[in-house]
Each structure stands twice: as C-alpha cells, then as structure tokens.
Amino acid sequence: MKKMTNAGDMAEIKPDPSIITPLLAWYDENKRILPWREDKDPYKIWVSEIMLQQTRVAAVMPYYERFLRALPDVGSLAAAEEEKLLKLWEGLGYYNRVRNMQKAARTVMEEHGGQFPPSYDLLLRLPGIGEYTAGAVASIAFGKCAPAVDGNVLRILTRLTADRSDVLDAKTKKKYAEYLARVLPKDRPGDVNQAMMELGATVCIPNGQPKCGSCPWQDRCLAHQQDLTDEIPHKKKKNARKIEKKTVLLIRDDKYTLIRKRPEGGLLGGMYEYPMLEGWVSSTQAKSFAAELGFVPLSIKKTDSDIFIFTHKEWHMQGYLVKVADTMPEAGDESKGPVLPVGYRLILPGQIDKDYALPSALKAFREML
Ligand code: SF4
C-alpha cells in the first residue's frame, strides 16, 4: 500500500538541511545562462520575476529584453508613459502587474533614493511585491536568508516529503516558507532559491512526468520512492470559472476601425478594445449599436467565435464585422466624423499594434479584421 503524509501533518515534515548540498552541486552544473543572472541587479531580478509569474523562461525572454532596452532602470520605469508601459507588457497579460511595478518604481525613487531597499520586509511593502518576489529579490540581489515559495517550489517540496497537503492552501505555503527559512544556508540563499526555481522548470516539471533520473534528490524524494508523483502536488478542486458571454463589434469603414478605452480599474482597466456588448446579441442589435453611435451600417457579417480564459472567468465571445459608410474623419479632423462618446477612437489598421495596447483576449478578433 502507498504510504503518504496526510494534509495538515505539520509535525511530520521536518526541515532537512542535508538537501542543500546536492541541490547546489546540481545547480552549479546545470543552471541556464539567463540575462537577469548576469549580475545581482535588483531591478533586473525583479522585472524577470514578475514576468516569470505564470510564463516560461523561453516565452519571457523577448519581452524581458525589449522591456530592459526601453526601460533600463528603475528611474526610467517610474517616469514612463502609461501607454508605453502597457505596450511593452502587451502579450504578457495581467496588466495590473506592470502598473504596480510602476507604482513600486515611483516609491523606490521617492522614498528610497532610487535604490531598492535591501530588506525582505521593506521590499514586501512595495506595491505589487508579494512574499515570493520579496524573497527572490532579497535573497538573489542582497544575499538575505529569505525563502521564495511559489507553485514550483511547493510542487518540489511536497513531492520530496510526500506531503498531500493542498498546495493551493495558504497554510501549506506558510509551512514550506518556514521549512526553507530553516534550511537556507547563510552563504548562498539566493542560489538555493534559484536552484529550486530551476529544478521546478527543468526536472520536477509542472506538466508531464518529472525527470527523476536527473534529479539531485532522487535518492531521498519520498514521492519518487513511493510512486506518488501522479498524486502530488495535491490540489483541492476549485470552483468552476464563471462564464461570461460577450459580443465583439468590429465596426469599420474602408479605412478606419472603432476602438474604445476600457474604464480604469478592474479587469484590463485602461486598455483599448473593440466595443463589446454583454451577452450574445443579434445582428439587428449590433447594427443598432453602431447606428446609435452615429454610423450608417451598410452590411453585417458574423465572425468566428473565440474563448479566452482568465484566472477566475472565461469570456465566450461571438463577433460581428459591421461595415459602415465612409463617415469617418480624415486623420486628425474629428469634426467631420460622428461625435463619439468619450474614450472611443477611430484608428488606422497599423495603429492597434503601434499605439494602443489591445488585450490578448481580443487578439483573435484583430486577426479577423
Ligand atoms: Fe521531483 Fe522526481 Fe526530484 Fe522527486 S525525485 S523532486 S519527484 S524530480
């Protein structure tokens, strides 16, 4: 019968400092060369850690390089225009992260003289910096013994200890932060945190079978020994995501397309979108919407539909391409076009890529134009 540790068995998980030596030896031999590892610049480490939340290293790399080229230090991030910032973040999703980064950068400039505070507690007070990021920056950039526990680390450590605690439960995270705090070595805490990130990305991987044959812990990992890697990490089933139906309207004449700014705050706040109506509306309702804005609809055609999945909800989108008469203004002369509500704009095809950040959720509709 399979032996396992039950949820909540805190007493049975004893921190084991002997895991560190083989882990660091493996890391020294196998670590990937990554641009944010070249020096211990807290700005670079912080940017990479925020980008790497929910995105793999290979996918992040071009975004990271573009971001660092445009905003090479905390001062330039603090001073950046919001639209430039959103544009640089386009494709990574979770736009509140980059907004919070800018708030944090401004705090660093105003309250810390342009230098990141070298302490876990002070880093934690910066906007958008949670326990994981504060631990990563404090340990990697400043050599502090601060744990950095994310989903990867929880997967590895619960497998190591054959612990079936729910890894989505904050108590489990706290338990392993305490575990790590007791085993992090004073001389290389940042390397241990990075070694675990690396192990989680390349060996004890999130999807698919772990590559236990290449793991520095194969002779001590209880999940491996007890054939429990399919069952650990354990995640309690979450409530189903809420489904929202939307109708996306691609309203355009021969030259211009209509977009509008989403309200500040809330999901995708301040980004641009093609106008969207709640629910799946009829073609008559879609044409009426265009007419009420002052356009003269000529034809209407259903587009392909698309689904976009956020953390807590799904957008199930249908769309219409509404061709309207040439009542659009010449560029820069809005007096000749319909009087549009605040936030609406008529743009030329290339502008959506160049000047306006469109959420990934609507990318499929951009392709249909
Ligand atoms: Fe993960 Fe296998 Fe290593 Fe255990 S031995 S930590 S399951 S890769």
269 located within any domain:
yes
**Domain stops at, among 225, 253, 288:** 225
**Residue 239 alpha carbon to ligand 1 centre in Å:** 29
**Mutate which of 159, 161, 234 for ligand 1 pocket (most atoms within 8 A of beta carbon):** 159
* Domain CATH for 205: 1.10.340.30
Is there a single domain that holds both residue 255 and residue 219? no
* Closest CA relative to residue 275, chosen from 252, 253, 242: 252
C-alpha dist (Å) from residue 317 to 95, 99, 306, 320: 21, 27, 5, 10
2 located within any domain:
no
Segment (H or E) for 272: strand 272-273
Place of tokens 């670079």: 44
3-state SS class at 23: helix
b/e per residue 238-258 (b: at least 16 CB within 10 A) = eeeeeeeebbbbbbbbeebbb
pLDDT (0 to 100) of residue 7: 45
* Domain CATH for 275: 3.90.79.10
* Closest CA relative to residue 325, chosen from 302, 344, 299, 288: 299
Look at the chain and report how many structural domains it folds into: 2
β-pairing, 313-324 with 297-302?
antiparallel
Contact indicator for 300, 283 with CB cutoff of 8 Å: yes
Strands (E), 197-262: 242-252, 257-261
Catalytic, out of 12, 49, 244, 367: 49
CA distance 194 to 150: 12
315 located within any domain:
yes
CA distance 306 to 18: 50
CA distance 79 to 71: 9
Is there a single domain that holds both residue 94 and residue 157? yes
pLDDT in tens, 76-119: 999 999 989 999 998 888 888 999 999 999 999 999 999 999 99
Is there a single domain that holds both residue 86 and residue 176? yes
Is there a single domain that holds both residue 175 and residue 108? yes
Report the number of secondary-structure helices (H) and strands (E) in the chain.
15, 8
231 located within any domain:
no
Question: For the whole prediction, is pTM greater than 0.75?
Answer: no
118 located within any domain:
yes
**Domain stops at, among 200, 225, 250:** 225
Task: Respond yes or no: is residue 334 known to be catalytic.
Answer: no
CA distance 193 to 140: 8
Angle ∠(264,265,271) on CA atoms, nearest 5: 50
Rounded to a whole number of angstroms, the CA Rg of the chain reads: 25
C-alpha dist (Å) from residue 22 to 32, 57, 240: 17, 24, 41
Shortest-distance atom of ligand 1 to CA 216: 3
pLDDT (0 to 100) of residue 191: 96
Is there a single domain that holds both residue 16 and residue 130? yes
pLDDT (0 to 100) of residue 50: 95
DSSP at 233: S
Is there a single domain that holds both residue 153 and residue 272? no
Contact indicator for 271, 359 with CB cutoff of 8 Å: yes
* Closest CA relative to residue 167, chosen from 121, 96, 223, 225: 223
Is there a single domain that holds both residue 82 and residue 126? yes
* Closest CA relative to residue 352, chosen from 57, 141, 87: 87
pLDDT (0 to 100) of residue 349: 78
Place of tokens 């991987």: 205
CA distance 177 to 158: 12
**Domain stops at, among 190, 225, 260:** 225
Segment (H or E) for 273: strand 272-273
**Domain limits for position 325:** 242-368
113 located within any domain:
yes
Is there a single domain that holds both residue 70 and residue 211? yes
Answer whether 204 contacts ligand 1 (Cβ < 6 A).
yes
Shortest-distance atom of ligand 1 to CA 156: 6
Is there a single domain that holds both residue 190 and residue 247? no
3-state SS class at 162: coil
pLDDT (0 to 100) of residue 12: 61
Residue count of the chain = 369
258 located within any domain:
yes
Which parts of the chain have pLDDT scores under 50? 1-11
270 conformational bin, left if phi > 0, alpha if psi -120 to 50, beta if neither? left
Is there a single domain that holds both residue 24 and residue 112? yes
Answer whether 203 contacts ligand 1 (Cβ < 6 A).
yes
**Residue 203 alpha carbon to ligand 1 centre in Å:** 7
